[in-house]
Amino acid sequence: MRHLDELRIIAACAVVVLHYADYVKDHPAGRFMVSHTLHFNLFVDLFFVVSGFVIASQYLGKVNNLSSTGRFMWRRLARIYPLHLATLTFYMAIAAAAYFGLARTDNPARYPLSDVPAQLLLLHAFDGQRLTFNFPSWSLSAEMFCYLLFPITALLAARRKALVIPLVVLPALANSVYVAFTGSVSWAEWINQGGIFRALPGFNLGVACYVFRHQIARWPVLPGTLTAGLALFILLGWLLPEMAALVAVYAIAVLAIQHDLSETPTILSHLRFDRASAYTYSCYMLHIPVATIVLTVGARYLANTPEGKLALLPVAVVMLAALSILSYRFFETPLRRALNSAFDRQFHAQRGGNRPCRIVARGRTMTMTAAARIPDNWISSRAEPASRDSAIDTMRGIAILMVIGIHSLPQPLDASWPTILDAALRPCVPIFLFASGYLTARANRVPLGKRVMTALVPYAIAFTAAYIYMAWHNPAMDHRVTTTMARFLLAYVFVYYYVFVYLGCTVGLWLIFRWASIDAQRSSQWATLFGLSIIFGLIAGSYLDPLLLRAGFSESLVQEARLRDIPFWFSFAALGVLFGKAGGEAALPNMRSMILGATLIAYLIYTAIRITNLGDAADYDSVAFFGYAALFSVLLLAFRPRLPFLAAIGSGSYFIYLWHIFIVMMLRDHTSLRGFGAFPDFVATYIITALVSVMALLTIRRVMPSRTLRWLGA
């Protein structure tokens, strides 16, 4: 793909010219460069198109399950993240030096520590408040967003090629509609705010060009169009309106793809710029750090005049070329290979390596390697023990996605639609407890010590991280030992109340099973005991709130008590035991329609009670909530869904539960998504949190040993 490679290095050089011109804008030559190169910013969109085409050519049809998707994401991170982290570290060192008075900076607002989490997570092109640190890295954040969505794009393209066309048109149309209704700047100018949405049409255009590559290759080639079009855009593009210039960039990219597919030589291809294309990413990422060293610090001490800075431009260019080559050869490439090798070693180790096995097929004994005997698309993201119930794991996968949904909703729930959605998603915790009770009944035992340690160790690690995050954002936080211990024991941090509830319900299950195992007479009374537990839980849920309010407790404390109302929550675990012990699920498949209807009615009742504030309208411990959540759990058991993707998520749901809230909090604390409106805020927060959480789970399962995974709850 010679023409695409040449466009990449030309685009990188154009971006360098644009940004370096800004350093010498006090000189007449610099002002001329700035005014006539502003359109060079759109060469970043050319990167997006080329990236979409290249990624599709390498991975289309190869990201059809969690395993291959995890490998794809890891390889993309291994390519872009090390240099991003290195340049971020460079600017963080400058920020630290400025903070401690060891250096001075002309723009201290460029180095806010509050932006570091978004930079580390590559979220700074979603809704960053300003361009900070190594600001060209916003396009990496936008690229990562496209990578996260690529498996869905690939799946749709595999089903039907024509579906990729709306993936190009609809994002562009949505961006245009948003601009029209909000009066914001052209979406071709979106960088730190909305940059990910700017990238999507171009990236998908590249994917579409690969999907329809055979048709494009048959298009008639007009000699000179690519070279002339590129030259005219470079020289006269500043005369075009912004959106017209963006269309021109897309057209240049498509022309280059056409020439490559048809193997048509051009004047451009004879220049052999493609030989330097390997250094495109290095050049793009390092040109601002080089400018900081040469054109800012160097000019300050050597030639602090407009003419002096202009004279230093060739020095910066030569230094950039040298550093780009060195970075690519001795930093990026070795690190990328090492990271990919580490991932692949872990991948093969978890799949059993290449140990030979013997199988019998139609009377013949054959020897195969472990890597060869099972097709890739049959392999889940991590081999699970054969004893795992995939239906229960799928239920947990559904539940954890519901948890993320609840925490992504705008707070407080001061409108009807968030309340309606919140009510629909509330059965998430009951599903976990119902599943716990069901599996306990099937196993007929409660390994109390193992369950407590499995819950407490990951919780302690997450609690420490959450405590640090809270202390960072709340300087007045109470750090007394007694207060901290109370926070830990009551799980009074973020949304970790479920840990307290789960441990309480586990102890309750252990006590009842222990009591029932003493003699035969007691073992026959377990059903009665669990039935009474449900009744007692409903009574506690109904009257705990008014009792505490009458005793003078504040509404906030009552809410925390509701969240930790263990007798009420235990009702769901008891219900799960009843279905697991009595084998009641055998009759459920024939009752699916009736249970579905009852669940919908219960949901409508629960939602109506909450909206109208009728009677006990509590979010959690109310009879209406129990009715809806219990029926929803039974409904899932009746259908027993077995979806490998959701089962893989469900088997790591505790990890996602503990860590997803950090993503939600960082989006709320360090972005202004609410400025887009409540519903877009919810959708964006949910998608980003779900995608990042799942990818984090897949990644650590690939690269970390089993003991570490247990410590993290994965």
Q: pLDDT band at residue 556, thresholds of 50, 70 and 90?
A: low
Radius of gyration of the chain (CA): 29
Q: Which residues pair with 366 in a beta bridge?
A: 359
Count of helix runs (H) and strand runs (E) in the chain = 34, 2
Indicate whether 382 pLDDT > 80: no
Provide long-range contacts, Cβ within 8 A and 24+ apart, for 173-182.
175/201
DSSP 64: -
Return the residue matching tokens 């040993």. Answer: 705
CA atoms within 13 A on the CB side of 572: 33
pLDDT in tens, 280-331: 999 999 999 999 888 888 777 766 777 777 888 888 899 999 999 999 988 9
The Cα 621–Cα 631 span in angstroms is 15
Structural tokens at position 49: 């198109």
Q: Which residues pair with 359 in a beta bridge?
A: 366
**Residue with the larger pLDDT of the pair 184 and 254:** 254
Confidence of residue 353 (pLDDT cuts 50, 70, 90): very low
Q: How confident is the model at residue 699 (pLDDT cuts 50, 70, 90)?
A: confident
Residues in the chain: 714
Whether 147 shows a pLDDT value over 90: the answer reads: yes
Residue 391 has pLDDT above 60, yes or no: yes
Report the chain's mean pLDDT, rounded to a whole number. 82
Q: Give how far Cα 496 sits from Cα of 154, 424, 491, 654, 711, Å.
A: 36, 21, 5, 11, 16
Is residue 130's pLDDT more than 80?
no
Looking at per-residue pLDDT, the higher value among 683 and 57 belongs to 57
Question: 361: helix, coil or strand?
Answer: strand
Work out the angle at residue 520's Cα, subtended by the Cα atoms of residues 519 and 525, and round it to the nearest 5 degrees.
100
Asked whether the beta carbons of 254 and 221 are under 8 A apart, the reply is no
Give yes or no for a cis peptide into 412 (omega within 30° of 0).
yes
Q: Which two tokens stand for residue 570?
A: 């235990």
Question: How many CB atoms sit inside 10 A of residue 474's CB?
Answer: 9
User: Residue 484 pLDDT more than 50?
Assistant: yes
User: Could you tell me the CA-to-CA distances from 183 to 170, 177, 179, 645, 679 in Å, in that order?
Assistant: 19, 10, 5, 41, 19
Q: Which residue has the higher pLDDT, 209 or 695?
A: 209
Angstrom distance (rounded) from CA 714 to CA 706: 9
- C-alpha–C-alpha distance, residues 196 and 163, integer Å: 21
Half-sphere exposure of 705 (CA within 13 A, CB side): 2
| Cβ-count burial 687-713 (b if 16+ within 10 Å, e if not) | ebbbbbbbbbbbbbbbbeeeeebeebb
Share of the chain above pLDDT 90, in %: 21
The rounded distance, in Å, linking the Cα atoms of 6 and 12 is: 10
Residue 638 scores a pLDDT above 70: yes
**What pLDDT shows up at residue 422?**
87
Intra-chain end-to-end CA distance of the chain, in Å: 41
Work out the percent of the chain whose per-residue pLDDT is above 70: 88
Cα three-residue angle 177-179-185, rounded to 5 degrees = 160
Residue 22 neighbours by CB distance under 10 Å: 13
